[in-house]
Structure 1
Amino acid sequence: MNIQNIWTEYQSSLKSFLHSKVGNPDDVDDLLQDILIKTHKSLHSIKDNEKIKSWIFQIANNTIIDFYRQNNKRQALTAEDLWYQQEEPQIIKELSLCVLPFIKGLPKEDADLLMAIEIEGLSQKDYAARNNINYSTLKSRVKKSRNKLYSLFSNCCDFSIDSKGNLSQFKQRSTSCSRC
């Protein structure tokens, strides 16, 4: 097999593979070019045509690893880059003070469920096991309880959600809502 036949056959699947591993399309194109060059340089070493696909994807995998290693050396992460070390936005802190009264405003079964899972941090699987409930049934109950909680919130407050699904601001609808 020659390089043109190999490239015609595998280029699109290689590009899909790269897109699944690398987020930036420009980087994908650069990596694809690197793989082509490496394939061309080493094609003479492949003896069995049956192994070309696995061989070329191994080159692609190694190229991705090299890419991330090089990027890691160039750019050291700082605390600001790590999402889990950033402080919660003030709006989340303000609204979190209101959560407990709203949860307590739910029916007892829903309130107990959300208190254990959302406030106390108990996993859904553990809650299901402790309460002898089928896990898939519990997931449905959690979703319904969350929807009820959201309804209570939305009756009292207007929410603005950003493009990423994060709460950007909220405003109390009326002073008649006494939960907050």
Structure 2
Amino acid sequence: MENIYTIWKDVYKNLEFMLATDVKDKEARKDLLHDIFLKIHANITSLKSHEKLLPWVRSITRNVIADHYRAGKKNVFVSEVPDIASPDEDYLNDKIISCVMPMIDQLDDKYREAILLSELKGIKQKEIASNLNISFSGAKSRVQRGRKKLKEMILQCCEIEADVYGNIIDYSKRERCATNCPPSKK
């Protein structure tokens, strides 16, 4: 059995990784990390099983990050750090994210937040509705409209070739695109 120090050290490393993918400002990350550990400490008695510690902590982390965005604190999205991506992701899927993140940043606040939470964080739309204090149908509408607007921006800027599974095979930047996309591997 692992000792408590080892367990919390692993939790800390996971939290640092999650925050680094969302918040560029180191000071903001430190503040959020502090808030997360305070919430963990305050609610540890609600954890039913120690095997579910990491998912429970991830849930708290997602909520703290959502609260941070909702509070209107200065937030900087990490579009310049594609090397944090996990090694099992496809090369071009990783590369194109550096093109898509500036486009996401151009969306209206309500659509940007919905897209970040649903598409990049993988949060279910019911949870998004709860986090944003809006109805479920309102959350669905924001995600759908955000996807539509983002798709229009992408198609105006890039020609994308995908396989039947939706994985990007190749892409090229259109001349009228202002986004600084890296070249494809071809």
TM-score norm. by structure 1 comes to 0.47
TM-score norm. by structure 2 comes to 0.45
Structure possessing the higher relative contact order (Cα contacts under 8 Å, 6 or more residues apart) = 2
The structure carrying a bigger helix percent of its residues is 1
Larger CA Rg, structure 1 vs 2: 1
